[in-house]
Structure 1
Amino acid sequence: MMFSRFTHSLINPLTLPKSNYRHLPSYFALIIVQISCCVGLVGGWTKKVVAAENIILNYGALEFPVSVKSLETYATTGKISGDLKSYVRFLNPEQLQQFQVSLTTSVKFDHLAIAQFLYSYQGEKILQRVSSVIQTKARQPGFYAIRSALILAAADTANGGLTPLNVVKKFPTKTLRIDSRQGLRIIKDLSRVAQINNQAIAAVEAQAVKERQNQTANVFANNNWDLGIPGRYAYSRQELVMKDSSRDRTFNVDLYLPKARKNTTLPLLVISHGLGGDATTFIYLAKHLASYGFAVAVPVHPGSSSSQIQALLSGLAKEVTPPAELIDRPLDIKFLLDQLAKDYGKQIDTNNVGMIGQSFGAYTTLALAGAKLNWSTLKRDCLNYDDSWNLSLLIQCLALQLPPSSANVDLQDRRIKAALVINPLVSSVFGQENIGKIGIPTMIVSGSSDSVTPARAEQIIPFTWLTTSRKYLVLLQGGTHFSTLGESSGSIPVPTQAIGPNPKIAQRYIKQLSLAFFSNYITQQSQYANYLNSAYGSVISNEQMPLSLITSLDQAALDTSTKLATDN
């Protein structure tokens, strides 16, 4: 959670003085950099008319001006001049360096692609939040001005492209106003969210230590602990085309088939990619599991694949993903299993299936596992979205745009016998009641630095909602929403800082844990149960991205950690 962690490292908003105005200048650099960094991920397109020359930090009736020229001088030379001196003198050398670097840090996105995103539902929701802080000279919300500035900055590659400084310079009025009260309120909210999230993460790590005290790692002697090495089976890959005439929907599937003994029925696993993914996103995992004798099917969901995102960014689609994808994705898997049973019935066991999903694919997996859409939690949370910093609600709340008939669609498929979900988005779309109805073995994988599907809200708390005794929570310390994704030629590039620590570490974890999980629950090899505990988690844990694995977590422990965070 880069944005939250950076703001929290500079300032603890919970200790902000309530009436001492002399502290306000020390927060100016923080606000302008953080707002610019935040909106530097989105944008819009208009004809350039004028450029910002001054920034005014408003705090009630008080105004604190700074010239764009002084920011530019500091960014390029490191020289603190003019009115900027009043605002940065409270920062230490490390913070000053962060400030300077942040001003010219570029996010690589094409300006037309950004324009398309900003006209989508998700893009406009983000802009509305940002425009409550960044205003025009006339004190009006800067919605359209921000959209203009962002896209103009992205198009200006000669001057660094989409950087916070360039965004400010492209703002289409001579004066840019920042509502510091709202800005500080946002920083305070983000810091509070980060504190609560971190306390929940600490509770998981403490539980892992507690569980490990009653376990032994001796069973992993003689180098039999590393389930990340390739298996002994060769395999082939087939490209299938699925045509579901009942929905007028066609999608592709990559099918990996191990070259096992004759007259052997292969166990089947299905991998569902996340938003903007494709058949190559988890190719590393499909190959690994196939080498251990699993048939692996990897469908491409057409309404939420990399092709859909490319269509949006090229102007051929109006949405990041249509609401109907919430229904179509699980139905894709049902249709796939029907077709595999028809065409490969003697070769593949389609009645005892393991399912893997990441992000939107994790939603897909849990819907098939028995979690139903929860209209009451959706209405409650989506109506109050402006009070939330959970970005995944931008996808979850699409469910409210579905036609009433969607409520009658049965998405559960009882052929799914075990589910492994990575970075799931579930808190509102399913809610506690319906997550509790999942009765199959379930493993949830979470990243502590996931800013898209926050660990506490979308994985840690939902883990406590599971009522099945066969449940596991895996926490990757420092892991982000993108850590487990493999390289994909068709996907939109993700900024390095958003990926987090070495993704190869996270990918190896997924190979090891998925093999143990499905070997135990799909192929009924009970010896693999020894790998599904905190002791094994500590054996494979890498210090660059420490891993914690737990099988239980007391809701009271989370409640206590939340109270401690909010009281501090």
Structure 2
Amino acid sequence: MGTTPTLAGGATLAADRLDVRLDGLSLPVDLNQLDAWSRDPKGSHSELGVWFELLNERSRNDLRSLLRAPLLPDRALAKQLLQSWTGRQLLEEVGELFAGGQPGSGVVLLTTLRELLQRPEPIRFVELLLAVPTPSLTLDLDGLLQLADLWRRQLEDQSLALRRLRDLPLRPREISDTRARLAAIQPTPRPTTLSLTVAHRAAPLELELWPTVTEREGAWVLLMPGLGGSSAQLSWLAQGLAARGWPVLVIEHPGSNERAVRQMLDGQRPPPGAETLPDRLADVEAVLAAERQGQIPRLGDSVVLMGHSMGGLSSLLSSGLRPVPGLAQRCERDLEVIPLINISRLLQCQLQEVPLPEPVREGSRTVAAVVSLNGFGSLLWPGHGLEQLKAPLLIVGGGLDLVTPPVSEQLGLFLQHPDLRSRLVMVEGGSHFSAVRIKEQDQALWRLGDGLVGMEPVRVQNLLLSLTSDFLTSLDGSIPMAPQRRSREGITAYVLDGRSARRWRSHISR
């Protein structure tokens, strides 16, 4: 089981008792007895073993499996998680539950786990508790139950918000497959790969260009995948927009793309996070400058900055926005509990440690619009932070999104933006991953179930394509996109302007 941590002077200090706190009561559990029972339930004659015999056989076996199973089976991946900012924040918060909320207790548990990972033998739950350098630990089940209750209430609030959304007086619009059939008759755009040498990266930046079949004057689209995403995952959107007349250039961001995630899973690097944003923003500026100067094909007289998740955040930052001062104070208040259904807030709070470049001066390029698919930024731009955005904005969210929930992450941002052409789209049954298309031979993501992935992604994507292209088309004319309830292939999306979005918020707060 390894050695016990040693203090200065040779004295040993380790936990031998776990106080389980529940409903105001504290039940002491001898960790050594717990460890002995988990190894040999039949041979354990302690009082603890007698209590466990009162459990039904299935519960008893489940408990023993939990205690004996390796806590972190993939040692290399575990080490990389401990090196990441997000991983440390989560583990420190969990650690607080094992010390009754004592300040710094999460750091102690994290340090102990890091030390145990240096040993060759597997780490099991009881062995971790036994190794913590403190006489006793407190498992705050009251805190766990409060956390579970908070999660339940957040899910209920999100469900209520969607019911209120259905009650809005929006004009229904049913979309048939006629447009898709007409598009299929047209020549299919074919992508070309471009390499762009950039000063901030050792290797050239890989770009995927989807040209239009016919010449068209106007805006072009710069498309950015989310954290851990790739150009292939958004090719459905790039191809569809190119077929409808908008040239699309997709950036593959090294260090925060699909390859970086595979390296993380292999234990070769920490999980990518907000620290990759400066390079992402530099990628965008290099591509815009190259297009403007003719280093790559000229694509139009203005650009639509479009992205999924962190790509949507990159789009907002590349438009010239920067976080409103006071992020550290907002994060200190917001991260008092683990953000179970809004993981994006961990990334937002990491930005307080990330030096972002100064925004590019206005006049160096024309931004026709910003499109953020499953985007976020509630902690970065509270109040009126998005008033500085000088271009129309399309924000798209999903009713089943537990990573960037629509009410807390998209509705508030949208209501800050005064442009009458801006629109908020909520897709019923859409999730954070609805915009991601995975190759047929790699469908593991979709096997996670509708609760995480949402409705069948291809059907959601067909609706997203028609909504996005209609929004871009509306910018060329004088009539903004009409608020509506749009349905296609059994998927419904709600298109809101400022007035209907404010009505939705007032219905939620009743």
TM-score by length of 2: 0.74
Q: After superposition, what is the alpha-carbon deviation per residue over 1:354-383, rounded to whole angstroms, capped at 9, x for unaligned?
A: 33211211101122344332122x122233
The answer on 1:444 being equivalent to 2:395 is: yes
**Shift of residue 415, structure 1, vs aligned partner:** 2.7
Contact 2:263 2:269 in 1 (8 A): yes
Please say if 1:363 is aligned against 2:330: no
SS state at 1:245 partner: coil
Corresponding residue of 2:336 = 387
After superposition, the Cα gap between the structure-2 partners of 1:559 and 1:492, relative to the gap in structure 1 and judged at 3 Å, is: same
The one-letter code of the counterpart of 2:168 is K
Match of 2:44 in 1: none
1:169-318 alignment, distance < 5 Å = 171=128, 173=130, 179-181=138-140, 183-192=141-150, 194-196=152-154, 198-212=156-170, 215-217=171-173, 220=175, 223-224=177-178, 230=184, 232-245=186-199, 250-258=204-212, 260-261=213-214, 263-265=215-217, 268-311=220-263, 317=269
CA deviation profile, 1:270-307 (whole Å, cap 9, x unmatched):
21111122222212322333333432211012242234
When structure 1 is superposed on structure 2, of 435-444 and 186-195 the one drifting more is: 186-195
CA offset digits 1:525-557 (Å, max 9, x no partner): 769977x64321x44543xxx644433455586
Distance 2:333 2:182 in 1: 43
State the one-letter code of the partner of 2:315: T
**Residue 470 of structure 1, aligned match among 421, 431, 434:** 421
| CA-to-aligned-CA distance 1:16-64 (integer Å, 9 cap, x gap) | xxxxxxxxxxxxxxxxxxxxxxxxxxxxxxx8559x9996523566215
Distance 1:560 1:352, change over 3 A: same
Distance 1:151 1:485 in 2: 37
Of 351, 371, 384, which residue of structure 2 is paired with 1:420? 371
Q: Normalized per residue, which structure has more helix?
A: 1
Specify the SS of the correspondent of 1:432. coil
Question: Which residue of structure 2 lines up, in the alignment, with residue 124 of structure 1?
Answer: 88
> Shift of residue 100 of structure 1?
11
Q: Using a 3 Å threshold, how does the CA distance of structure 1 residues 172 and 387 change in structure 2: closer, same or farther?
A: closer
Which amino acid is 1:122 matched to? Answer: T
Match of 2:51 in 1: 83
Q: Which amino acid aligns with 1:422?
A: L
Structure 2 residue aligned with 1:551:
497
Question: Residue 195 of structure 2 aligns to a residue in which SS?
Answer: strand
The partner residue of 1:133 within 80, 97, 102 is 97
Correspondences of 1:321-336 after superposition (within 5 Å): 321=273, 323=275, 325-336=276-287
Which amino acid letter does the alignment assign opposite residue 482 of structure 1?
F
Deviation at 1:113, TM superposition (A): 1.7
Residue 57 (structure 1) aligns with: 20
Task: Please give the per-residue CA displacement for 1:237-264, whole angstroms capped at 9, x wherever unaligned.
Answer: 2111122237777421111223x24x54
Q: Distance in 1 between the 2:131 and 2:125 partners?
A: 10
Letter in structure 1 aligned against 2:51: D
CA displacement, residues 326-377 of structure 1 (integer Å, 9 cap, x when unaligned): 333233223213323444887621x23333211211101122344332122x
For residues 362 and 259 of structure 2, what CA distance do their matches in structure 1 show? 24
Letter in 2 for 1:336: V
Is the partner of 1:515 in helix, strand or coil?
A: helix
> For this pair of structures, how many residues does the alignment match?
479
Of 484, 489, 492, 1:534 maps to: 484
Kindly, what percent of the aligned residue pairs are identical? 17
Q: Secondary structure at the match of 1:254?
A: strand
Contact conserved, 2:224 with 2:312, CA < 8 A, in 1? yes
Q: Using the alignment, how far apart are the partners of 1:100 and 1:226 within structure 2?
A: 56
- Letter of the 2:195 partner, please give it: V
**Alpha-carbon spacing, 1:412–1:386, altered in 2? closer, same or farther (3 Å):** farther
1:69-112 CA distance string (max 9 Å, x none):
878999xxxxxx953476789xxx9x999999999999997431
| Change beyond 3 A, Cα 1:447–1:512 | closer
Give the SS at the match of 1:252: strand
Asked if structure 1 preserves the Cα contact closer than 8 Å seen for 2:230 and 2:258, the reply is yes
Q: Which stretch of structure 1 is more off in the superposition, 422-431 or 60-69? A: 60-69
Mapped partners of 1:229, 1:209: distance in 2: 34
Answer whether contact 2:371 2:394 (CA < 8 A) is retained.
Answer: yes
Q: Which letter does structure 1 place at the counterpart of 2:220?
A: L
**Cα distance in 2, alignment partners of residues 433 and 440 from structure 1:** 15
**Equivalent position SS for 1:134:** coil
Structure 1 gaps of 5+ residues are: 1-46, 75-80, 157-165
> Contact 1:211 / 1:550 at 8 angstroms: preserved in 2?
no
> What are the Cα deviations for residues 370-403 of structure 1, in whole angstroms up to 9, with x where unaligned?
4332122x12223335414343233223332244
Inter-partner Cα distance in structure 1 for 2:331 and 2:237: 34
Unmatched 5+ residue regions in structure 2?
Answer: 5-14, 42-48
Following the alignment from structure 1 to structure 2, what is the Cα–Cα distance between the partners of residues 409 and 506? 36
Q: Is the 8 A contact 1:267 1:293 kept in 2?
A: no
Q: Is the 8 A contact 1:108 1:495 kept in 2?
A: no
SS in 1 for 2:220: strand
In the superposition, relative to structure 1, how do residues 504 and 142 fare at CA in structure 2: closer, same or farther (>3 Å)? same
CA distance in 2, matches of 1:61, 1:419: 54
CA contact under 8 A between 2:394 and 2:425: conserved in structure 1? Answer: yes
Instruction: Give CA deviations for 1:4-25 in whole Å, capped at 9, x if unaligned.
Output: xxxxxxxxxxxxxxxxxxxxxx
Give the Å deviation of 1:201. 4.8
Give the aligned CA root-mean-square deviation in angstroms.
4.9
Indicate conservation of the 8 Å contact 2:35/2:126, yes or no: yes
Q: Is the 8 A contact 1:369 1:413 kept in 2?
A: no
User: Which of the two has higher C-alpha Rg?
Assistant: 2
Shift of 1:484: 2.5
Distance 1:332 1:535, change over 3 A: same
Paired AA for residue 313 in structure 2: Y
Shift of 1:152: 9.0
3-state SS of 1:514 partner: helix
Question: Could you say which structure has the greater relative contact order, defined with CA pairs below 8 angstroms and 6 or more residues apart?
Answer: 1
For residues 273 and 129 of structure 1, what CA distance do their matches in structure 2 show? 30
